[in-house]
Amino acid sequence: MRMPGHVAAVALLALASGQGQTQEPDVILRALQDEVTRTLQLQLPGLERPYYAEFALHDGESFAVSATLGGTVARRNNRFRLPSVQVRVGGYEFDNTNYVFSDFAFGARDAGRPPLEDSYLALRHFFWLAGDAAYKAAVQAIARKRAALKNVTVTENLPDFYRAEPFQIRNETPRMHVDEEQWAAVVRRVSSEFADFRHLIRSGADFEIVQSDYYFVNTEGTTCRVPERLVHLRLHAMALAGDGMSVRDAVTFLAREPDGMPAESELREAARKLALRVTELSQAPVGEPYTGPVLFEGEAAGQMFAEILGRNLAARRRPVGEPGRPLPFQSGEFEGRVGSRVLPDWMDVVDDPTQAEWRGRPLLGHYLADLEGVPPSPVRLVERGILRSFLLTRQPVAGFSASNGRARLPGGFGHKTAWFGNLFVQAAEASPLEELKKKFVSLFRARNLPYGIIVRKMDYPSSASVDEVRRLLARTAQAGDGGRPVSLPLLVYRLYPDGREELVRGLRFRGFSARALRDIVAASVETFVFEYLENGAPFALSGASGFVAESTVIAPSVVFEELQLERAQEQVPTPPVVPPPSLTLRR
């Protein structure tokens, strides 16, 4: 739902505050506004003043509890205020950003921490020092950027910052009471469901509720206060196969509020199903290398689109580098491909964060303003298979002229990273899933394959350990097939022509990139809503970053004409010398 109050003139007047104007009633916004206005007066002798400044504050609280086999392994309460400050010198055409050292602090500066309590002066004190430090860093950055540009030539002459209409929104959603003891007990009880499954060597339930508000002001007159609410519950389990290979799976539940969570009985049921599935996986045969048609069904299709398509939809801009030094920058696979085909000509992709719900179901990817205080608008990204647009922040990129309100994650070089909200993947030519499967069978039979591969779940966001992610990234780098890291398929089935299915383990994709999306040959009428937390980390690894963008993908099941799968692990560790302890031990 879009909020009204798009009133630029009022905003500017409010900024000029001081005399005569009604005082901003929200003490945080008032402190941010008064101090950000003063930031424009900053000036080092002989150097330029800021032309733009923004102050932001995530103000919130969280409660997290993790349990394994009925025992609490972690319990955490966190009250936080996370500030962010940006000061720009120069002008919209050329400023201190889009340069390799734009985020560099240039010397030790420490503004301390903002107060957790609502003190107008203590808040201003913090932002006074933070703004001062940001200004001094900005003038250094722009000087170095100018010096660097004496020695490097930039092929595209783009401005450094898009202008944006001032936007005002104040959504004061009260915070809910969280019954911490009750949730801690539920999480313990759900985690104890795993105790009946002897094959599991690790298991657990993690619960977290975050209630925060995002405050944002800038010197252009934008003032935002928007709520951020999230409840997150994850069940995970791991087992060892007889050959020592570890297999795992996880289930995640997401909602805006505790009432959106399934009942305890459903959670327990989900835990038991997960345990059975992981047990089944541990007993499944190791998959054989495969080249041929692949069906992504349900959730797996949403996960695949989020990862393979989603990460390429954000526009990326190469920063100005230092002569002779490598740039810490990787371009997207869709760079320079606006107007080219990226999907079959019967597919469209639209991102619409303005939709709060879809077919009666609330959508997690809905938001009112992005991290730069820009309200999102619906964007047709792909039309009839042709790439038409990117997800944009206020970082200018070639071929576009304004942000479309997608600054959702922290970024680099003085800018934010774009991510989608509610990504609708639409197929004009679609058949019911049952027919799609028949089509799929005829596809692999035409190639004389004994079976086709169905993927029902990808490890995205990943529940892997950091070590495992590191190994995966290293292997992709070594593979030399030009592929970018793609998360592991967790649930892979062989579908035989007679309709029989067989679960296999230990496979991964080889050379799977956005290029393959053009080889989608069929889609289902049925769509699946996949919701997750994107954090910008490889495989959106759970817990890898404190910053998340709630994201939704609404997509049909799809068939790829040809993908390649290979064994995921060349070697597996030997099974433990000591057998596992009995889990039926009770006090």
Partner 1 sequence: MRGILRSLALGAAACVLSAQTSPLLDILTAELDRNFKVLKEKGDPAPYFLAYAVSDTETRLVSATLGFLEGKSANRSRLLDVTVRVGTPQLDNYHRLPGDRPRFSAAVPIPLEDLPAPVRQIAWLETDRTYREAVQRLIRIRTSTQVKPAEEDPSPDFSIEPPEKYVERWEPLQFPAALWEDRVRKWSAALGRRREILVSSVTVFAQRETKYYTTSEGTRLQHGRALARIVISARGRAPDGMELSVGETFEAETPDRLPPDKAVMEAIERVARNLAALERAPEAEPFAGPAILSGRAAGVFFHEIFGHRIEGHRQKDESEGQTFAKSLGTKVLPEFLSVIFDPTRRSLNGVDLNGYYLYDDEGVKARPVVVVENGILKTFLMSRSPVRGVERSNGHGRRQPGFEVVSRQSNLIVESSRRVPEKKLREMLLEEVRRQNKPYGLYFEEVTGGFTQTARRGLQAFAVIPILVYRVYPDGRPDELVRGADIVGTPLASFSKILATGDSLEIFNGFCGAESGSVPVAAVAPAILVSEIEIQKRETSQERPPLLPRPDLGSGLFR
| Residue 75 makes contact with partner 1 by CB under 8 A | yes
Contact residues for 62 (Cβ-Cβ < 8 A; gap 6+): 76, 77, 78, 80, 208, 209, 210, 211, 212
Closer Cβ to partner 1, 12 or 73, answer by number: 73
Closer Cβ to partner 1, 119 or 513, answer by number: 119
Q: Does residue 263 contact residue 207 with C-beta atoms inside 8 Å?
A: no
Q: Tally Cβ neighbours within 10 Å of residue 314.
A: 24
Contact residues for 359 (Cβ-Cβ < 8 A; gap 6+): none
Interface stretch with partner 1, choices 142-150, 341-349, 372-380, 573-581 (CB under 8 A)? 573-581
AA identity, residue 30: R
Closest CA to 240 of 463, 584, 574: 574
Closer Cβ to partner 1, 432 or 576, answer by number: 576
**CA 308, chain centre distance (Å):** 13
Closest CA to 236 of 278, 269, 198: 278
Interface stretch with partner 1, choices 121-129, 367-375, 397-405, 477-485 (CB under 8 A)? 121-129
Q: How far apart are CA 403 and CA 180, in angstroms?
A: 40
Q: Does residue 394 contact residue 372 with C-beta atoms inside 8 Å?
A: yes
Structure tokens at 347: 């597919």
| Residue 577 makes contact with partner 1 by CB under 8 A | yes
Closer Cβ to partner 1, 119 or 426, answer by number: 119
Structure tokens at 413: 């070089």
Closer Cβ to partner 1, 136 or 416, answer by number: 136
Give the phi and the psi of residue 386 in degrees, each rounded to 5.
-100, 130
- Shortest Cβ 184–partner 1 spacing (Å): 10
Query: Binding partner 1 by CB under 8 A: which of 7, 111, 386, 479?
Result: 111
Q: Where are the alpha helices (DSSP H) in 428-579?
A: 433-446, 466-479
| Residue 398 makes contact with partner 1 by CB under 8 A | no
Interface stretch with partner 1, choices 101-109, 266-274, 475-483, 506-514 (CB under 8 A)? 101-109
- Shortest Cβ 42–partner 1 spacing (Å): 5
Q: Does residue 409 contact residue 547 with C-beta atoms inside 8 Å?
A: yes
Q: Using the 8-state DSSP alphabet, how is residue 185 labeled?
A: H
| Residue 573 makes contact with partner 1 by CB under 8 A | yes
Closer Cβ to partner 1, 132 or 383, answer by number: 132
Q: Which of residues 152-211 bind partner 1 (CB under 8 A)?
A: 195, 201-202
Query: Binding partner 1 by CB under 8 A: which of 10, 69, 185, 473?
Result: 69
**Could you tell me how many residues of this chain bind partner 1 (CB under 8 A)?**
57
Between the alpha carbon of residue 171 and those of residues 6, 56, 168, 369, the distances in Å are: 13, 16, 10, 11
Residue 70 backbone zone (phi > 0: left; psi -120 to 50: alpha; other: beta): left
Closer Cβ to partner 1, 9 or 108, answer by number: 108
Closest CA to 511 of 471, 540, 475, 536: 475
- Shortest Cβ 124–partner 1 spacing (Å): 4
Closest CA to 439 of 557, 360, 352, 327: 557
- Shortest Cβ 130–partner 1 spacing (Å): 10
Query: Binding partner 1 by CB under 8 A: which of 2, 6, 113, 438?
Result: 113
What mask, x for binding partner 1 by CB under 8 A, covers residues 12 to 51? ----------------------xx--x--xxxx-------
Q: How far apart are CA 458 and CA 355, in angstroms?
A: 26
CA neighbours closer than 13 Å in the CB half-sphere of residue 307: 26
| Residue 109 makes contact with partner 1 by CB under 8 A | yes
Closer Cβ to partner 1, 326 or 581, answer by number: 581
Q: Which of residues 123-142 bind partner 1 (CB under 8 A)?
A: 124-125, 128-129, 132, 135-136
- Shortest Cβ 235–partner 1 spacing (Å): 15
| Residue 546 makes contact with partner 1 by CB under 8 A | no
Closer Cβ to partner 1, 126 or 460, answer by number: 126
- Shortest Cβ 127–partner 1 spacing (Å): 8
3-state secondary structure of 54: strand
Closer Cβ to partner 1, 23 or 340, answer by number: 23
Q: How far apart are CA 417 and CA 314, in angstroms?
A: 7
| Residue 116 makes contact with partner 1 by CB under 8 A | yes
Structure tokens at 562: 């040809």
Q: How far apart are CA 111 and CA 277, in angstroms?
A: 51
Query: Binding partner 1 by CB under 8 A: which of 158, 254, 402, 583?
Result: 583
Q: Using the 8-state DSSP alphabet, how is residue 220 labeled?
A: T
Structure tokens at 570: 């060349």
Query: Binding partner 1 by CB under 8 A: which of 5, 91, 112, 262?
Result: 112
| Residue 247 makes contact with partner 1 by CB under 8 A | no
For residue 241, give the H/E element and its range: none
- Shortest Cβ 573–partner 1 spacing (Å): 7
Q: Which of residues 79-98 bind partner 1 (CB under 8 A)?
A: 79
Query: Binding partner 1 by CB under 8 A: which of 17, 37, 84, 119?
Result: 119
The residues of the shown chain that bind partner 1, judged by CB under 8 A, are: 34-35, 38, 41-44, 66-79, 107-117, 119, 121-122, 124-125, 128-129, 132, 135-136, 195, 201-202, 573, 576-581, 583-587
